[in-house]
């Protein structure tokens, strides 16, 4: 004797009946139907929770597990091979190693005389191998360009969802910390010191450990601290989008032109006419000091720009 | 010393400098500067090619006041000059043809940034071609990677950003392996410039010390650059990346970016490791196997795609497989065939991506297979360009694809063990190529069925102002393809000459 079902509409038999009559497809809820992907920029990739659940819950669960296992095994193998290889490498700090050859010898013995820089590392990266360093500065430049493409928020006038949200948040002062007295007073003392220290590192790059990259990072950190303490209104009085552009453009152009001149004269065996000065003096070692200043400016601007772009999509 | 020896340096610096100033200009001026720069670089590279062919010499160029093992250096021979000229030509054609879509796809305030990326990418490609220093190679690989990410995501839609993230993760793994490889190599040789490093490598081979790290170095460098150029098991980023970027970016990415890494790899193989030493290590056999699998699996993936651009992108995986297969043959002839296939693929893929973009416009931006039915009658030139490109990829005589396939087949003769595998893979891959490319061609030239009007509208008035440029670019690319197909002997002569100078 069969039970009388109270929800006949949901029973299996009713579904088959519907299917035969052609009213409803039994696969409707189980099958993932994708609409054709269109190239409309307004639509985003949509991963609904349902579809995600379905994929992870069934077969893919096992595939994923196997995949994870395989990745772990692969990484462990790679690490083992690398560590095993280390045992065959030249011993660390041994005088007979291949790296202690005529290249480093000349950097150390003649570096002072040829570049005028007391700090050999700076002499190496900004004179002997200056082309690589120019490439590195361009890496920084192009990464800020990419972050700008991704995060810079340009259409501030239009009434879009993003803009409404931004105004709401701005009124809430979520972007900017509340006027924190401790932070403000401490940064009043610290920021000038950090700036002076950064400038010192940059200007003494050819004399003592330091240089454009490290000094620029210190100045960038100072700028970010100032921004956190006093908010965008205050920093925008001296650092805007325009300032950023002018500084990056002029620093990179100067680097590019100065180094091109130096490369050109060097390759064609011409006298460059740039005085090396007395080693040890602040105004010495030819182009290294101005190049350090350029690199420092670029690094400081890049750090600040990253922070500002990630925080509110602009300066 | 002739003044021309300065030209490789001028072209790299010019490309970088125009990128730097373009960041402060508006979109229109950035475009003008970019095209002007590409034109000048094309001229300079052609001069370098002419000079090296005419004098039959190669030259190194000191970057600064310090000679080789201490300072940076770039080098130019016939192969470098030729590749630089060819790459610049493809770059200029891709940018010209994608102009209309660049201005409509990219936010108006960010158009100049796209041209900054193009400029920087050009400079990095040139530097990768000309470099004679391993670390310079790495620095410009980085610039290239970041510029590529920017190009992929510049449309700012979900697909683009997802594709950029994928690309970035894979590409960084590749860069990382490459960097570890270079560091280890520096540790065991003590040199970063290619010529002195080569001498040290010979020393290592003869004494037998540090052989294990040396093998690891070869493996890391090959796999690192292999990942970055999209070799088969590491290809998962390719379809999304090429399929959803703006058309100019797709063309540049598939025809130039992946090829730049391969050129760098070949350069390292020849000038640092030494091809003979490489042959003994069996890493070439691994590349060969990966290449063969890529040729078949890439084509199978392409058959499964419904979207024409993704289909072409998957086909790129197969074509990269051809190139690695040729390198893996381990013979001079195989290397020449690979280099020739780099040219073929660069010329043809740019053509396919650009014509498909025009075909999509003719059906109002729909991308699936069915909407493209009969579109060849609406935009005739784009349809014809697609036809020529497909035939070239399939290997129709007179077109460049045929020649490169013939070269691969004859190069395989020299290697007895790999011969049958190569031929089998060529036959299978060509059949699969024909399956998806000709299916698409038949589809775009399908006659409307009884009672069915030609879907969509396409009137002359509605075309963008760039139609003329597009037409010019299509014809130029078809011409280039025919040139590569019919005068292949001259091109191969140049390639052989260049390789013998390495």
Chain mean position to CA B392: 17
Domain ranges of chain B: 282-502
**CA of A100: which chain B residue's CA is closest?**
B190
> What is the percent of chain A where pLDDT is above 90?
21
Residue A222 lies in a domain: yes
pLDDT value, residue B459: 45
Q: Is B61 helix (H, G, I), strand (E, B) or coil?
A: strand
- Mean pLDDT, range A55-82, rounded to an integer: 86
Distance from C-alpha of B300 to C-alpha of B296, rounded to nearest angstrom: 6
Residue B28 and residue B96 in contact, taking contact as beta carbons nearer than 8 Å:
no
Bridge partners, B74 (sequence order): B61, B131
* Cβ neighbours of A111 in B, within 8 Å: none
Distance from C-alpha of A60 to C-alpha of A54, rounded to nearest angstrom: 9
Residue A140 and residue A223 in contact, taking contact as beta carbons nearer than 8 Å:
no
Do the Cβ atoms of A36 and B367 come within 8 Å?
yes
Do the Cβ atoms of B23 and A145 come within 8 Å?
yes
Do the Cβ atoms of B23 and A141 come within 8 Å?
yes
DSSP label of A90: P
CA distance A265 to chain B (A): 7
CA end-to-end distance (rounded Å), chain A:
78
Distance from C-alpha of B500 to C-alpha of A220, rounded to nearest angstrom: 50
pLDDT value, residue A270: 81
Residue B210 and residue B257 in contact, taking contact as beta carbons nearer than 8 Å:
no
Do the Cβ atoms of B187 and A268 come within 8 Å?
no
Residue A140 lies in a domain: yes
Distance from C-alpha of B151 to C-alpha of A209, rounded to nearest angstrom: 38
Do the Cβ atoms of A90 and B189 come within 8 Å?
no
Residue A305 and residue A166 share a domain: yes
pLDDT value, residue A122: 84
pLDDT value, residue A55: 62
pLDDT value, residue B391: 92
C-alpha closest to that of B15 among A74, A103, A142, A208: A142
Distance from C-alpha of A7 to C-alpha of B11, rounded to nearest angstrom: 78
DSSP label of B133: B
- Is any Cβ of chain B less than 8 angstroms from the Cβ of A113? no
**Using 50, 70 and 90 to split pLDDT, how confident is the model at A39?**
low
Other Cβ atoms closer than 10 A to A190: 15
Taking CA atoms, B253 is separated from A76, B61, B149, B155, in Å, by: 33, 29, 10, 15
pLDDT value, residue A91: 84
- Mean pLDDT, range B149-161, rounded to an integer: 86
**From B5, B155, B191, residue closest to A103, measured CB to CB:** B191
Residue A193 and residue A134 share a domain: yes
Selected residue of A139, A149, A250, A251 to mutate for chain B interface (largest B Cβ count, 10 A):
A149
pLDDT value, residue B457: 47
> What is the percent of chain B where pLDDT is above 70?
96
Residue A245 and residue A205 share a domain: yes
* Cβ neighbours of B213 in A, within 8 Å: 85, 88-89
**Using 50, 70 and 90 to split pLDDT, how confident is the model at A64?**
confident
Residue A42 has pLDDT above 60, yes or no: no
Chain mean position to CA A282: 32
Residue A115 and residue A247 in contact, taking contact as beta carbons nearer than 8 Å:
no
**Using 50, 70 and 90 to split pLDDT, how confident is the model at A278?**
confident
Bridge partners, B62 (sequence order): B73
Could you give the dihedral angle defined by the CA atoms of residues B198, B200, B205 and B211, in that order, rounded to the nearest 10 degrees? -110
Do the Cβ atoms of A135 and B150 come within 8 Å?
no
The mean pLDDT of chain B is: 88
Residue A245 lies in a domain: yes
**Using 50, 70 and 90 to split pLDDT, how confident is the model at A90?**
confident
Residue A313 and residue A162 in contact, taking contact as beta carbons nearer than 8 Å:
no
* Residue located via tokens 């609409």: A35
Distance from C-alpha of A83 to C-alpha of A93, rounded to nearest angstrom: 18
**From B5, B24, B110, residue closest to A149, measured CB to CB:** B110
Bridge partners, B73 (sequence order): B62
**From B143, B200, B212, residue closest to A138, measured CB to CB:** B143
Domain boundary among A89, A121, A146: A89
Residue A292 and residue A161 share a domain: yes
Residue A198 and residue A300 in contact, taking contact as beta carbons nearer than 8 Å:
yes
Do the Cβ atoms of B105 and A37 come within 8 Å?
no
DSSP label of B193: B
DSSP label of A287: T
Do the Cβ atoms of A45 and B162 come within 8 Å?
yes
pLDDT value, residue A47: 62
Radius of gyration of chain A (CA): 31
Selected residue of A79, A94, A142, A213 to mutate for chain B interface (largest B Cβ count, 10 A):
A142
Distance from C-alpha of B112 to C-alpha of B117, rounded to nearest angstrom: 9
Q: Is B74 helix (H, G, I), strand (E, B) or coil?
A: strand
* Residue located via tokens 């051809």: B322
Chain mean position to CA B292: 19
Residue B342 and residue B284 in contact, taking contact as beta carbons nearer than 8 Å:
no
**Using 50, 70 and 90 to split pLDDT, how confident is the model at A311?**
confident
Distance from C-alpha of B358 to C-alpha of A85, rounded to nearest angstrom: 53
Contacts of B356 (CB under 8 A, 6+ apart): B247, B308, B309, B312, B382, B386
pLDDT value, residue A56: 62
Do the Cβ atoms of A135 and B127 come within 8 Å?
yes
Range from A176-185, A200-209, B470-479 carrying the lowest mean pLDDT: A176-185
**CA of A263: which chain B residue's CA is closest?**
B64
- Mean pLDDT, range B482-489, rounded to an integer: 90
Residue A100 has pLDDT above 60, yes or no: yes
Distance from C-alpha of B486 to C-alpha of B402, rounded to nearest angstrom: 10
DSSP label of B232: G
pLDDT value, residue A178: 65
- Is any Cβ of chain B less than 8 angstroms from the Cβ of A127? yes
The pLDDT tens digits for A152-162 are: 877 666 666 76
Residue B337 and residue B327 in contact, taking contact as beta carbons nearer than 8 Å:
no
Residue A72 has pLDDT above 90, yes or no: yes
Do the Cβ atoms of B154 and A149 come within 8 Å?
yes
Residue A180 and residue A52 share a domain: no
Do the Cβ atoms of B113 and A145 come within 8 Å?
yes
Residue A200 has pLDDT above 90, yes or no: yes
C-alpha closest to that of B466 among B103, B112, B119, B118: B103
The pLDDT tens digits for B446-461 are: 876 655 555 544 444 4
pLDDT value, residue A179: 72
The pLDDT tens digits for A119-171 are: 888 888 888 888 898 898 899 899 989 998 888 877 666 666 767 776 666 65
Q: How many beta-carbon contacts under 8 Å exist across A and B?
A: 195
**Which has the higher per-residue pLDDT, A35 or B339?**
B339
* Cβ neighbours of B117 in A, within 8 Å: 142, 145-146
Residue B98 and residue B247 in contact, taking contact as beta carbons nearer than 8 Å:
yes
* Cβ neighbours of B9 in A, within 8 Å: 263-264, 267
Residues 63-102 of A with CB under 8 A from B: 81-82, 85, 88-90, 97-102
Interface ipTM > 0.85? yes
Selected residue of B61, B63, B243 to mutate for chain A interface (largest A Cβ count, 10 A):
B63
Structure tokens at B496: 């052989």
Angle between helical axes of B111-130 and B27-55 (0-180°, round to 10): 20
Do the Cβ atoms of B188 and A130 come within 8 Å?
no
- Mean pLDDT, range B124-146, rounded to an integer: 93
Residue A11 lies in a domain: no
Residue A121 and residue B63 in contact, taking contact as beta carbons nearer than 8 Å:
no
Residue B474 and residue B382 in contact, taking contact as beta carbons nearer than 8 Å:
yes
Residue A8 lies in a domain: no
Do the Cβ atoms of A267 and B5 come within 8 Å?
yes
Structure tokens at B30: 């950035």
Residue A176 has pLDDT above 70, yes or no: no
pLDDT value, residue B138: 94
* Overall domain count for chain A: 2
DSSP label of B109: G
Residue A167 and residue A69 share a domain: no
**Using 50, 70 and 90 to split pLDDT, how confident is the model at A17?**
confident
C-alpha closest to that of B260 among B121, B52, B357: B121
pLDDT value, residue B460: 43
Residue A94 lies in a domain: no
**From B64, B139, B186, residue closest to A99, measured CB to CB:** B186
Taking CA atoms, B19 is separated from A88, A141, A145, in Å, by: 44, 10, 11
* Cβ neighbours of B172 in A, within 8 Å: none
| Torsion over CA: B12, B14, B17, B23 (sign) | negative
Do the Cβ atoms of B146 and A139 come within 8 Å?
yes
**From A36, A139, A257, residue closest to B368, measured CB to CB:** A36
Residue A10 lies in a domain: no
Residue A196 and residue A268 share a domain: yes
Residue A24 lies in a domain: no
Structure tokens at A78: 């790679």
Distance from C-alpha of A31 to C-alpha of A11, rounded to nearest angstrom: 19
Do the Cβ atoms of A139 and B72 come within 8 Å?
no
Do the Cβ atoms of A263 and B64 come within 8 Å?
yes
CA distance B29 to chain A (A): 16
pLDDT value, residue B32: 92
Helix (H) or strand (E) holding B60: strand B59-63
Residue A203 and residue A282 share a domain: yes
Other Cβ atoms closer than 10 A to B70: 23
**CA of B246: which chain A residue's CA is closest?**
A39
The pLDDT tens digits for B14-50 are: 999 999 999 888 888 999 999 999 999 999 999 999 9
Do the Cβ atoms of A249 and B107 come within 8 Å?
no
Distance from C-alpha of A237 to C-alpha of A256, rounded to nearest angstrom: 29
The pLDDT tens digits for B274-323 are: 888 888 888 889 999 999 999 999 999 898 888 888 889 999 999 999 99
Residues 175-214 of A with CB under 8 A from B: none
**CA of A247: which chain B residue's CA is closest?**
B24
Selected residue of A131, A265, A291, A298 to mutate for chain B interface (largest B Cβ count, 10 A):
A131
Q: Is B131 helix (H, G, I), strand (E, B) or coil?
A: strand
* Cβ neighbours of A105 in B, within 8 Å: none
Residue B388 and residue B475 in contact, taking contact as beta carbons nearer than 8 Å:
no
CA distance A104 to chain B (A): 8
Q: Is A170 helix (H, G, I), strand (E, B) or coil?
A: helix
* Domain encompassing residue A60: 47-89
C-alpha closest to that of B257 among B362, B147, B331: B147
Do the Cβ atoms of B216 and A100 come within 8 Å?
no
Exposure string of A132-142, with b = 16+ CB inside 10 Å and e = fewer, is bbbbbbbbbbb
pLDDT value, residue A175: 56
Residue A225 and residue A83 share a domain: no
Residue A62 and residue A118 share a domain: no
Exposure string of B201-226, with b = 16+ CB inside 10 Å and e = fewer, is beebbeeeebebbbebbbbbbbbbbb
């Amino acid at each position: 004797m069969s039970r009388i079902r109270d929800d006949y509409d949901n029973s299996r038999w009713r579904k088959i009946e519907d299917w035969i009559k052609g009213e409803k497809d039994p696969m409707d809820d189980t099958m993932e139907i994708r609409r054709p992907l269109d190239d409309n920029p307004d639509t985003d990739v949509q991963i609904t929770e349902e579809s995600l659940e379905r994929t992870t819950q069934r077969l893919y669960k096992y595939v994923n597990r196997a995949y994870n296992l395989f990745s772990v095994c692969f990484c462990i193998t790679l690490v083992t091979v690398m560590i095993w290889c280390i045992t065959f490498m030249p011993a660390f700090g041994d005088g007979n190693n291949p790296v202690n050859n005529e290249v480093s010898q000349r950097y150390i013995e003649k570096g002072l005389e040829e570049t005028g820089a007391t700090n050999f590392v700076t002499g190496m990266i900004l004179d002997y191998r200056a082309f690589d360093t120019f490439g590195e500065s361009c890496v920084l430049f192009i990464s800020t360009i990419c972050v700008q493409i991704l995060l810079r928020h340009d259409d501030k006038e239009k009434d879009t969802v993003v803009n409404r949200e931004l105004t709401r948040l701005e009124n809430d002062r979520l972007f900017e910390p509340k006027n924190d007295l401790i932070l403000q007073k401490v940064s009043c003392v610290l920021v000038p010191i950090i700036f002076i220290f950064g400038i010192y590192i940059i200007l003494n790059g050819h004399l003592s450990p330091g240089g454009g990259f490290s000094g620029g990072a210190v100045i960038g950190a100072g700028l970010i601290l100032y921004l956190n303490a006093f908010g965008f209104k205050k920093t925008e009085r001296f650092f805007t989008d325009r300032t950023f552009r002018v500084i990056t453009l002029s620093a990179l152009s100067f680097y590019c032109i100065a180094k091109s001149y130096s490369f050109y004269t060097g390759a064609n065996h011409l006298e460059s006419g740039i005085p090396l000065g007395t080693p040890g003096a602040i105004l010495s070692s030819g182009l290294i000091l101005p190049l350090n200043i350029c690199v420092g400016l670029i690094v400081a601007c890049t750090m600040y720009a990253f922070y500002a772009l990630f925080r509110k999509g602009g300066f | 010393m002739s003044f021309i020896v300065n030209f490789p340096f001028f072209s790299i610096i010019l490309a970088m400098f125009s990128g730097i100033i373009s960041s402060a200009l508006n979109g229109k001026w950035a475009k003008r500067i970019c095209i002007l720069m590409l034109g000048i670089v094309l001229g300079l590279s052609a001069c370098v090619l002419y000079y090296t062919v005419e004098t039959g010499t190669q030259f190194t160029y000191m970057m600064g006041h310090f000679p080789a093992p201490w300072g940076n250096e770039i080098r130019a021979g016939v192969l470098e000059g030729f590749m630089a000229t060819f790459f610049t030509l493809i770059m200029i054609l891709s940018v010209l043809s994608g102009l209309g879509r660049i201005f409509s796809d990219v936010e108006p305030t960010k158009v100049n940034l796209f041209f900054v990326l193009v400029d920087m990418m050009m400079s990095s490609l040139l530097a990768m071609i000309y470099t004679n220093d391993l670390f310079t190679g790495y620095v410009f690989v980085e610039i290239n990677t970041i510029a590529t990410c920017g190009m992929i995501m510049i449309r700012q839609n979900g697909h683009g950003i997802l594709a950029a993230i994928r690309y970035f993760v894979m590409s960084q793994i590749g860069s990382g392996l490459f960097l570890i490889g270079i560091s280890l190599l520096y540790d065991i040789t003590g040199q970063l410039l290619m010529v002195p490093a080569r001498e040290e490598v010979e020393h290592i081979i003869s004494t037998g010390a540090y052989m294990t790290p040396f093998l690891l170095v070869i493996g890391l460098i090959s796999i690192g650059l292999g990942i970055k150029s999209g070799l088969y098991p590491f290809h998962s980023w390719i379809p999304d990346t090429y399929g959803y970027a703006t058309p100019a970016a797709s063309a540049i990415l598939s025809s130039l970016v992946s090829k730049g890494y391969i050129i760098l790899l070949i350069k390292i193989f020849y000038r640092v490791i030494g091809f003979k030493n490489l042959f003994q290590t069996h890493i070439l056999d691994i590349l060969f196997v990966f290449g063969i699998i890529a040729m078949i699996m890439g084509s199978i993936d392409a058959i499964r795609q419904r979207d024409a651009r993704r289909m072409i992108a998957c086909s790129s995986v197969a074509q990269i497989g051809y190139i690695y297969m040729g390198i893996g043959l381990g013979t001079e002839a195989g290397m020449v065939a690979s280099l020739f296939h780099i040219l073929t693929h660069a010329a043809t893929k740019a053509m396919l991506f650009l014509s498909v973009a025009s075909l999509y416009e003719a059906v109002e931006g729909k991308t699936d297979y069915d909407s493209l039915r009969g579109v060849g009658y609406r935009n005739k030139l784009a349809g014809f360009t697609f036809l020529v490109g497909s035939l070239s990829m399939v290997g129709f005589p007179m077109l460049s694809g045929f020649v490169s396939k013939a070269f691969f087949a004859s190069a395989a003769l020299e290697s007895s063990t790999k011969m049958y595998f190569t031929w089998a893979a060529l036959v299978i891959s060509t059949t699969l190529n024909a399956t998806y490319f000709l299916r698409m061609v038949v589809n775009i030239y399908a006659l409307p069925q009884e009672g069915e009007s030609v879907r969509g509208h396409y009137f002359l008035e509605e075309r963008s102002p760039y139609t003329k440029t597009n037409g010019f670019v299509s014809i130029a690319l078809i011409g280039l393809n025919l040139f590569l197909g019919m005068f292949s002997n001259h091109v191969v002569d140049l390639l052989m000459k260049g390789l013998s100078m390495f």
